[in-house]
Amino acid sequence: MIDINLIRENSELVKENIRKKFQEEKVGLVDEVYEYDKTYREYKQKIDSLRAKRNSLSSQIGELMRNGKKAEAEKVKKEVVSINDEIDTLEISEENLEHEIKSRMMVIPNIIDDSVPIGKDDSENVENEKFGEPFVPNYEIPYHADIMESFNGWDKESAGRTSGNGFYYLIEDIARLHSALLSYARDFMINKGFAYCIPPFMIRSDVVNGVMSFSEMDAMMYKIEGEDLYLIGTSEHSMIGRFKDQIIKEDSLPITMTSYSPCFRKEVGAHGIEERGIYRVHQFEKQEMIVLCKKEEAMDWYNKMWKWTVELFRSLDIPVRTLECCSGDLADLKVKSCDVEAWSPRQQKYFEVGSCSLLGDAQARRLGIRTKGENGTYFVNTLNNTVLASSRAIIALLENNYQEDGSVLIPKVLQPYMGNIEKLIPKNK
């Protein structure tokens, strides 16, 4: 949610930003907010004036009664009652106006950074930089589900019976590889100075509304029936929510955290659930990084964060690239975002394994997360970035370390987490 002062003082900037995101249907909301806000402030000023008048009259009543002027006191009392009735009526209107303003402000997109490329959708995202040399061996690399099957490493059929499509069992070496990747990612971020945290895996609706847009919520979140609770789609949700309605000491910024969680996603929309593999599923696990900082430090943190994801994947012998998200592909709360994509030698193209986002003060404004320093109180900036998402990291590792004999090499950095095993040997061929 943007600062309403932007609409009061520079509504054309807000409109132009909406057009850059190709959301022409929202442009009219800016003028609506402007008019509602103008009326709201007029009502508020009138209410304040009436309250001051009421207080003045109320003080007169006691004095009139003490002086034996009962009739005049009764007349003033009636005037006070009339003012109270008028205030009550105006407060109802004020509350309704506040609702109208907030409902529109919640869907007006955040102001994007000047560096964001302008484009309608993800097809117009821009490649930034490649890290590592993409390699295609002279032998065939099987589909990742078949590689896992060769190790007796997964069971989707049984998961279909217990849970439905989009779920899976990981077994033996593949299950161990899954845990090793997450443990390595955890320690990787701890070594970068981030505080490790395991958050709640369910959050209330007011936190959901604070961390994401309505369209994202509908497409992603599972609601617990009969309760005001949602399963998180990423630990960022509950990690940012941890600071809801808090005033953070400025000298404690930046706050840097890395969090583990399972992630639950409906995956509603054009992409849908993958039928065979684990690329797009309802449940996976993730290591995340989250930063709360001052506005002037936010871009530096953004660049540090995506570079750490690149560094982690390169340490696993996986070539990656970064892709700058264009304006039309940015979620409404985001100021700037890039994807980290891993090389798939089987498909001979890159696929997304992580996303780094700068959200300005949008989440903090929605959740009331502020900091207090010498120059007063203000909203913090928030950032989040995927360190490693388990299912896609497994795919990238299996494909890029697959050998002609069907074995999979374990990168050196991962071997201590795998009992010092150097390679996985298939059990089924």
- Please state whether beta strands 230-231 and 320-324 pair in parallel, antiparallel, or not at all (unpaired): unpaired
Mean pLDDT score of the chain, rounded to an integer?
94
Q: What is the largest CA-CA distance in the chain?
A: 107
Residue 236 above 70 pLDDT?
yes
Residue 141 above 60 pLDDT?
yes
Residue 217 above 80 pLDDT?
no
Contact present, 153 and 178 (Cβ < 8 Å): no
Give the least confident one: 56-60, 117-121, 384-388, 404-408.
56-60
State the Cα–Cα distance between residues 369 and 381, nearest whole angstrom.
9
Q: Which residues share a beta bridge with 130? A: 321
DSSP H or E run through 10: helix 4-20
The pLDDT of residue 274: 65
Mean per-residue pLDDT for 139-155? 96
Instruction: Give the single-character DSSP code of 115.
Output: T
Q: Compute and round to an integer the Cα radius of gyration of the chain.
A: 28
Delimit the CATH 1.10.287.40 region(s) of the chain: 4-105
Mean per-residue pLDDT for 315-323? 97
Mean per-residue pLDDT for 147-156? 95
Contact present, 357 and 334 (Cβ < 8 Å): yes
Q: Which fold has domain 4-105?
A: Helix Hairpins (1.10.287)
Under the banding of pLDDT at 50, 70 and 90, the label for residue 28 is very high
Mean per-residue pLDDT for 53-73? 83
Residue 5 above 70 pLDDT?
yes
Q: Residues with Cβ < 8 Å from 410, sequence gap 6 or more? A: 177, 401, 418, 421, 422, 423, 424
The pLDDT of residue 429: 66
Under the banding of pLDDT at 50, 70 and 90, the label for residue 99 is very high
Give the least confident one: 50-59, 207-216, 250-259, 333-342.
207-216
Delimit the CATH 3.30.930.10 region(s) of the chain: 122-424
Helices 172-190/390-400 angle, 10° precision: 110
Q: What percent of the chain has pLDDT over 70?
A: 97
The pLDDT of residue 76: 82
Residue 270 above 60 pLDDT?
no
State the Cα–Cα distance between residues 140 and 129, nearest whole angstrom.
27
State the Cα–Cα distance between residues 362 and 163, nearest whole angstrom.
36
State the Cα–Cα distance between residues 333 and 360, nearest whole angstrom.
8
Mean per-residue pLDDT for 353-360? 97
Record the pTM.
0.90
The CATH code belonging to domain 122-424 is: 3.30.930.10
Residue 225 above 60 pLDDT?
yes
Mean per-residue pLDDT for 170-180? 97
Residues 36-66 as b/e (b if ≥16 CB within 10 A, e otherwise) read bbeebeebeeebeebeeebeeeeebbeebee
Distances (CA, A) of 275 to 148, 270, 325, 368: 15, 14, 27, 41
